[in-house]
Structure formats: structure tokens, C-alpha cells
Amino acid sequence: PANAHIMFIGEAPGFHEDQQAIPFVGAAGRLLEELLASINLTREQVFITNIVKCRPPDNRDPQPDEIAACRPYLDGQIARIAPKVIVTLGRFSMQLAYTGVSISRVHGQPKRIGDIVYVPMFHPAAALHQPRYRSLIEQDFSRLPELVSGMQDIASDDQRSAPPEQLSLF
């Protein structure tokens, strides 16, 4: 929805996403829907997108020039939706808010930038390819309602952002 309070940003369309022009409709999308359901949300209540809008050849990782080329479109989506929380799914979208760190070190740790709280998480596909990540993703998702209800306590990098009003998404 155009007024979603929470936005999920993945990496790039996979085969099924490319065919249907809808993000997260393959196996990773089904897992994302399960994770949303575990916190009483549906995909209709959140906005889901990717940092790269076209499927990279051979389903490879997005290249820096591809990310840069799609960035104005993503920035436009963020500006129009104006989410309170952005959950980055995977290491490439994590770089919107976190640079020079590993997703293994910062997953689930919220960070405020301006009026938006960013929460980095492993991509659902990581749990499908490496089952050890599933419990980490589930734990991070289970904390989302708590993070959202305590958003005013999440500090910005510069500590100058005014705290937002209490927000409840759940």
C-alpha cells in the first residue's frame, strides 16, 4: 500500500519476480509471507521492493553500477511511501544504512536515519540455502513489533533527530 508504515527492501528480482513483475513471489517470498504472518502482518499491509529493479544476468549479485542506476527510483519509492521502518533484506540493501560492516554482525540492530528506522536482516533466501540462518531471521522478525513500539528510543547516528510520536503497526 502507498501508506505502508513498514517497507521491506530486498536485492533484485529472481526468476519468478521477473516473470510476474512482483517482488518476492518465489520461495523466498513464501518464507517472507510466513515471517510476516508470525508477527500478525500480511504482504498487503507492508510495501515490498528491491534495490535493483531488473533481474541481473544469471541471477548474479547486483553490481554497483546497477544499484546506482536504480537508486533514484528506490529513493522516489521511499519518499512517496514515507515508511517509519525500513527492513533491509540482505547485504546489498543493508548498505542503504550500514556501510563497512557485515550483515552477520548487525542483523536485527535498528538504526535511525532522519525519521526512518532501518533494521537489517538476512534475506529470506539465505534461510532457504543455509538453514542455520532461519532461526536468526525468525528471531529478528519476532523483535519487529517491539522495535516499532519503542521507535522513539532508537537513537540516530547524530542524536539530533526528534523522536517520532508513538507508532503501533501491530
User: Which residues does 98 contact at the CB level (< 8 Å), separation at least 6?
Assistant: 88, 106, 111, 118, 120
Cβ-count burial 91-129 (b if 16+ within 10 Å, e if not): bbbbbbbbeeeebeebbbebbbeeebbbbbbbbbbbbee
Residue pLDDT, tens place only, 101-142: 999 999 999 999 999 999 999 999 999 999 899 999 999 999
The pTM assigned to this predicted structure is: 0.87
Q: What residues in the chain have per-residue pLDDT under 50?
A: 159-170
CB 24: neighbour CB atoms within 10 A? 25
